[in-house]
Structure 1
Amino acid sequence: MGINRRQWLSTVPLALLTSGLSVPVIAQQRDAWTLQALEFLESLDSGQRAQALFPFNSGQRRDWHYIPRQRHGVAIKALSDEQRGLLWRLMATALSKRGFAKVRDVIKTEAILADLTNNPGFRDPDNYAIVFFGDPATQQTWAWRFEGHHLALNFTVIPGKGLTLTPAFFRR
């Protein structure tokens, strides 16, 4: 059985949305991402900031993965309670309520896996990291990524044009 014309046409918008094309959004959302990113970055000390910031065109931007491994950026375990709060505010600003809940659930699952496998060094719910590419304080394109085991979210802000959240991987 083949796909009919109506089914095919209904997949086109989804394909465009997930292909990496920028979707214009209201400026307030883009500005909210930028404001939250700057607030988070300002909370970092100089060592954390050096770990968290890369040039936009850095090869690290394409080096994302969702397996347990060493991460680029600043890991949750290296953040103070205040910085963690700012991280979660940035995530909540960038995602829907459902998306944010999914992120938190994926991280909770990692803690369960650590207990079940008796391998907390490998299954570490604090081994999720945030990294920025480019400077949100400029009017240039910039991006940020949050990733860990079973989770990789890549956000890009294109001033004057819009935002993207791709590639993105959630596993639950």
Structure 2
Amino acid sequence: MAQTGIDRLIEQQVFTASYPLHDGQYESAKNITEPQHYNKRQILYYYWAQWSKWYKYQPLDHIRDYFGEKIAMYFAWLGFYTGWLVPAAIVGILVFLYGLVSMETDVPSRDICSSGQKYRMCPTCDEQQGCQYWYLSEICLFSRLSVMFDHSGTVFYAVFISFW
């Protein structure tokens, strides 16, 4: 008599039978090298479930046979959705690169960075530090970073994504 597990539940007639979740090993034996001798799990493992296979189409029929209709629909939708996000990502990268290139030619940032000790700014008051003046050139880095993310290309990208 089984103490725990599925065998005990079958003995108590909670279940009438039990079946393994997977059909065989996911790695093939060393002597089997031809794909026609692989089981469904091995086919999915070698031709789909690896990072190096990201560029290949998903074997949706094999996924449906192994995991079922709902899971295959999920992966079909995920593949479709991801495929349609690729052009938007490419445009986003191009807009970011445009901001990176235009950072050096941005006139306000160039003026801020080259101002040196010329412009003294109003103090920011803090209880611990008191009121200290600061120079405009101290925000040079932040000015350049803001140009990367806030330029005419980002407006185009926002309109592009809203119509996407």
Question: Taking structure 2 as the reference length, what is the TM-score of the superposition?
Answer: 0.27
Q: Higher strand fraction: Structure 1 or Structure 2?
A: 1
Please say which structure displays the higher CA radius of gyration.
Answer: 2
Question: Taking structure 1 as the reference length, what is the TM-score of the superposition?
Answer: 0.26
